[in-house]
């Protein structure tokens, strides 16, 4: 419910603040006093677009702030989804700057207009006589019927399953689309894969192969130099080993004279041992070198194939080719196993469809069961509102299509008079009839679901007498479960309120302003008496006003 409204520098309002209570509040005032300005301010704070014409003083900004008690609404998820701080008493604020720019806030957090509108529609419903098109809209008719059918839990389950179903169908369609592309390229991928698999990449060391080929290609040159090295170390007269042995013998003879010579001897001995090992390895290398043209040719062919594949796939290492091979194996595998995958995905879809159908059937069954009782209640209220022959027919047609709220198509048919054919509500009901039907619908909904605060803006236009009295009684009954406001010119309705506000203008030599005040008991009697008889209040009008107020 709305707890308070503060308006500054808006239209004819300089500054005013109103506090509200639960129950049924009445707003009255002469035509042109500014009741529409109050509604305009509320619409702005709920997200309606604004311009500079909203400012009373063009050099100052306009601020409209509304405090709502939202503890009775299930809105925590909304605040969480929009990254807003949840407060039981939430503040909506709108600012219009002299530059024409507009700013919006929820609990002091800046928001865009769409977020403000999304929250606002959950908190406040402003209903005027000419704004009855909602009643003709299919989603509102479903909302009314489902509230009456107690279908809320089923609808939550259905929408959860519907989301899963849509995701599954999208996944299958995406898989099939990708599969068609892979199937078109399957032969090419298989060819590329065969090329790579034939080379047995995991067994190839490219650097080692290149080294082997280099060695086989220059084998004679390598042998020649190894022989020279071996001869240089083994020659009996001038070989390195022979000369080193002579040096070792000479130093050995004097090693006993000094630790320094002894150290030199040990180092020469170490070199001698290392050189013998090197010479032996050179000898082994010479023996191991065998001219093998076939092996060289095989290695060269393998490397040429490898180089060609690296160039083809625009990579430079065997590791990169292995990654490409693995990717190709996956693509080929997807095609090979596609039928199994599609069958598994379709099985999952069928299961979800089965769940959806079962829930949709429960929803439809509840709707069918509730439709008759709903028509009876609507007709009963309309009878009290001067339409005793009004008749409804709710037609529910199950379909095979999955809608957001089930699988039903819905028609609200209406007949206002005896003998008249039923027709679609939006086509056969007049404006005055739609206004009363909307009041009946909201009064019925209020019994079964938590509605936002509602403001009826002169919904009583064109009615009087007992019908007006019944309208007021219906709104008063609604206010027992929700906060209700009525802007009215009818004393029968004004007398039903728990609280009475009067909108009026004050005029001085400089400007005109709109103000609002809460009437006490005596002021309320006078106000209703004026609504009965005009500005000149008679004694009978006062007595009539007291009678209406009981």
pLDDT of 507-536, one tens digit each?
887 788 889 999 999 999 999 999 888 878
Nearest Cα neighbor of 460 from 414, 484, 492 is 492
For residue 116, give the 3-state DSSP assignment: helix
Give the mean pLDDT of 319-326.
85
**Same domain flag for 92 and 195:** no
d(CA 403, CA 364): 12
**Same domain flag for 11 and 73:** yes
- Compute and round to an integer the Cα radius of gyration of the chain: 47
240 and 230 in contact (C-beta within 8 Å)? no
Look at residue 473 in the predicted model and tell me its pLDDT.
92
User: Under 8 Å CB-to-CB from 103, ≥6 apart: which residues?
Assistant: 94, 95, 97, 110
Look at residue 106 in the predicted model and tell me its pLDDT.
95
Look at residue 204 in the predicted model and tell me its pLDDT.
78
446 and 482 in contact (C-beta within 8 Å)? yes
Instruction: Kindly report the number of other CB atoms within 10 A of residue 93's CB atom.
Output: 20
Residue 230 main-chain phi, psi, to 5 deg: -65, -45
Residue 178 within any structural domain of the chain: no
Task: Considering only residues 22 and 300, tell me which one the structure prediction assigns the higher pLDDT.
Answer: 22
Residue 360 within any structural domain of the chain: no
Task: Considering only residues 199 and 186, tell me which one the structure prediction assigns the higher pLDDT.
Answer: 199
Look at residue 534 in the predicted model and tell me its pLDDT.
80
Flag whether pLDDT at 252 surpasses 80. yes
Residue 337 main-chain phi, psi, to 5 deg: -105, 10
Flag whether pLDDT at 400 surpasses 90. yes
Q: Which residue has the tokens 């728990």?
A: 498
Give the mean pLDDT of 280-295.
75
d(CA 234, CA 247): 16
Nearest Cα neighbor of 317 from 433, 225, 201, 430 is 201
Look at residue 450 in the predicted model and tell me its pLDDT.
80
544 and 66 in contact (C-beta within 8 Å)? no
Domain boundary among 318, 336, 354: 336
**Same domain flag for 296 and 207:** yes
Residue 251 within any structural domain of the chain: yes
Look at residue 115 in the predicted model and tell me its pLDDT.
93
Residue 208 within any structural domain of the chain: yes
Instruction: Kindly report the number of other CB atoms within 10 A of residue 27's CB atom.
Output: 23
The full DSSP string for 217-264 is: HTHHHHHHHHHHHHHHHH-TTT-HHHHHHHHHHHHHHHGGG-HHHHHH
Residue 321 main-chain phi, psi, to 5 deg: -65, -35
What is the CA angle 252-256-257, rounded to 5? Answer: 115
Look at residue 130 in the predicted model and tell me its pLDDT.
59
Number of structural domains, the chain?
A: 3
**Same domain flag for 224 and 197:** yes
Give the mean pLDDT of 240-269.
84
**Same domain flag for 87 and 210:** no
d(CA 406, CA 154): 10
**Same domain flag for 69 and 109:** yes
Give the mean pLDDT of 202-223.
76
Look at residue 163 in the predicted model and tell me its pLDDT.
95
d(CA 464, CA 468): 5
**Same domain flag for 530 and 511:** no
- Report the chain's mean pLDDT, rounded to a whole number: 86
Residue 431 within any structural domain of the chain: no
458 and 129 in contact (C-beta within 8 Å)? yes
The DSSP bridge partners found for residue 408 are: 398
d(CA 283, CA 288): 9
The pair of structure tokens assigned to 8 is: 């500054």
**Same domain flag for 95 and 212:** no
The pair of structure tokens assigned to 85 is: 């701080």
- pLDDT band at 155, cuts 50/70/90? very high
450 and 482 in contact (C-beta within 8 Å)? yes
Look at residue 129 in the predicted model and tell me its pLDDT.
61
494 and 26 in contact (C-beta within 8 Å)? yes
Look at residue 184 in the predicted model and tell me its pLDDT.
67
Give the mean pLDDT of 351-367.
95
- pLDDT band at 67, cuts 50/70/90? very high
The pair of structure tokens assigned to 306 is: 């490898």
Flag whether pLDDT at 316 surpasses 90. no
- Maximum average pLDDT range among 31-35, 315-319, 441-445: 441-445
Look at residue 131 in the predicted model and tell me its pLDDT.
60
User: Under 8 Å CB-to-CB from 8, ≥6 apart: which residues?
Assistant: 14, 15, 62, 63, 64
**β-pair type (24-28, 484-487):** parallel
Look at residue 335 in the predicted model and tell me its pLDDT.
67
Residue 96 within any structural domain of the chain: yes
**Same domain flag for 511 and 534:** no
Largest Cα span, the chain: 154
- pLDDT band at 358, cuts 50/70/90? very high
What CATH code is carried by the domain that includes residue 59?
3.40.50.300
pLDDT of 195-211, one tens digit each?
777 877 777 787 777 77
Flag whether pLDDT at 132 surpasses 70. no
d(CA 197, CA 272): 51
User: Under 8 Å CB-to-CB from 475, ≥6 apart: which residues?
Assistant: 24, 439, 443, 456, 484, 486, 493, 496
- pLDDT band at 265, cuts 50/70/90? confident
d(CA 47, CA 42): 9
Give the mean pLDDT of 63-80.
91
Look at residue 112 in the predicted model and tell me its pLDDT.
92
SS3 content of the chain, % helix, strand, coil (to 5): 60, 20, 25
Flag whether pLDDT at 189 surpasses 80. no
Give the mean pLDDT of 289-310.
75
d(CA 92, CA 3): 12
pLDDT of 504-513, one tens digit each?
988 887 788 8
Look at residue 262 in the predicted model and tell me its pLDDT.
87
**β-pair type (453-457, 423-424):** unpaired
**Same domain flag for 491 and 549:** no
Residue 416 within any structural domain of the chain: no
Look at residue 237 in the predicted model and tell me its pLDDT.
66
Look at residue 36 in the predicted model and tell me its pLDDT.
85
Q: For residue 322, how many C-alpha atoms fall within 13 Å in the half-sphere facing its CB?
A: 10
Give the mean pLDDT of 221-236.
77
Look at residue 186 in the predicted model and tell me its pLDDT.
65
Which residues span the domain enclosing 61?
Answer: 1-129+458-518
Give the mean pLDDT of 368-392.
91
**Same domain flag for 209 and 113:** no
The pair of structure tokens assigned to 422 is: 């039923």
444 and 144 in contact (C-beta within 8 Å)? yes
484 and 6 in contact (C-beta within 8 Å)? no
Flag whether pLDDT at 488 surpasses 70. yes
Nearest Cα neighbor of 393 from 132, 130, 145, 149 is 145
Task: Considering only residues 283 and 129, tell me which one the structure prediction assigns the higher pLDDT.
Answer: 283
Flag whether pLDDT at 123 surpasses 70. yes
The full DSSP string for 34-46 is: SHHHHHHHHHHHT
For residue 124, give the 3-state DSSP assignment: strand
d(CA 368, CA 9): 52
Look at residue 318 in the predicted model and tell me its pLDDT.
80
Q: Which residue has the tokens 């070989």?
A: 239
- Maximum average pLDDT range among 422-436, 449-463, 472-486: 472-486
Residue 164 within any structural domain of the chain: no
d(CA 517, CA 238): 128
Q: What percent of the chain stands above pLDDT 70? A: 95
Flag whether pLDDT at 79 surpasses 90. yes
**Same domain flag for 244 and 327:** yes
Q: Which residue has the tokens 């239209």?
A: 11
Domain boundary among 304, 336, 368: 336
Predicted TM-score (pTM) of this structure: 0.67
């Amino acid at each position: 419910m709305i707890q308070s409204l503060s308006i500054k520098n808006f239209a004819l309002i300089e500054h005013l603040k109103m506090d509200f209570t639960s129950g049924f509040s009445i707003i009255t005032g002469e035509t042109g006093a500014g009741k529409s300005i109050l509604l305009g301010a509320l619409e702005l704070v709920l997200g309606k677009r604004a311009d500079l014409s909203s400012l009373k003083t063009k050099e100052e900004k306009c601020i409209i702030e509304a405090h709502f008690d939202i503890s009775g609404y299930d809105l925590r998820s909304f605040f969480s989804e929009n990254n807003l701080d949840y407060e039981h008493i939430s503040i909506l604020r709108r600012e219009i700057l002299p530059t024409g720019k507009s700013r919006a806030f929820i609990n002091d957090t800046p928001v865009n207009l769409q977020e403000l509108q999304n929250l606002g529609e959950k908190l406040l419903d402003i209903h005027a006589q000419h704004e009855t098109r909602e009643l003709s809209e299919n989603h509102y008719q479903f909302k009314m019927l489902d509230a009456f059918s107690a279908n809320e839990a089923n609808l939550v389950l259905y929408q959860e399953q519907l989301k899963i179903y849509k995701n599954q169908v999208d996944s299958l369609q995406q898989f099939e689309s990708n599969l068609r592309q892979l199937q078109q390229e399957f032969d090419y991928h298989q060819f590329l894969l065969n090329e790579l698999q034939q080379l047995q990449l995991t067994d190839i060391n490219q650097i080692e192969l290149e080294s082997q080929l280099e060695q086989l290609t220059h084998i004679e040159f390598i042998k020649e130099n190894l022989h020279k090295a071996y001869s240089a170390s083994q020659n009996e007269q001038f070989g390195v080993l022979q000369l080193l042995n002579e040096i070792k013998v000479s130093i050995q003879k004097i090693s006993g004279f000094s630790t320094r010579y002894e150290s030199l001897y040990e180092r020469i001995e170490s070199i001698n041992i290392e050189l013998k090992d090197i010479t032996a390895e050179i000898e082994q290398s010479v023996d191991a070198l065998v001219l093998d043209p076939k092996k060289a040719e095989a290695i060269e062919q393998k490397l040429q194939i490898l180089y060609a594949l690296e160039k083809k796939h625009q990579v430079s290492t065997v590791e990169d080719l292995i990654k490409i091979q693995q990717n190709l194996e996956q693509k080929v595998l997807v095609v090979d196993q596609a039928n199994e995958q599609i069958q598994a995905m379709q099985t999952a879809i069928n299961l979800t469809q089965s769940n959806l159908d079962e829930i949709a059937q429960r929803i439809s069954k509840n709707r069918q069961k509730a439709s008759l009782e709903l028509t009876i209640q609507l007709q009963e209220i309309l009878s009290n509102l001067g339409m005793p022959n009004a008749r409804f027919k709710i037609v529910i047609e199950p379909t095979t299509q999955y809608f957001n709220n089930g699988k039903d198509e819905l028609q609200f048919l209406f007949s206002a008079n005896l003998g008249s054919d039923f027709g679609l509500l939006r086509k056969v009901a007049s404006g005055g009839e739609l206004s009363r039907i909307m009041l009946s619908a909201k009064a019925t909904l209020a019994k079964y679901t938590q509605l936002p605060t509602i403001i009826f803006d002169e919904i009583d236009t064109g009615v009087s007498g007992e019908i007006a009295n019944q309208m007021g009684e219906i709104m008063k009954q609604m206010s027992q479960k929700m906060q209700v406001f009525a802007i009215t010119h009818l004393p029968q309705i004004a007398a039903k309120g728990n609280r009475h506000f009067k909108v009026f203008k004050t005029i001085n030599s400089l400007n005109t302003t709109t103000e609002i005040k809460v009437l006490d008991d005596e002021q309320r009697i006078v106000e209703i008496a004026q609504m009965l008889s005009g500005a000149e209040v008679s004694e009978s009008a006062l007595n009539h006003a007291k009678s209406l107020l009981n």
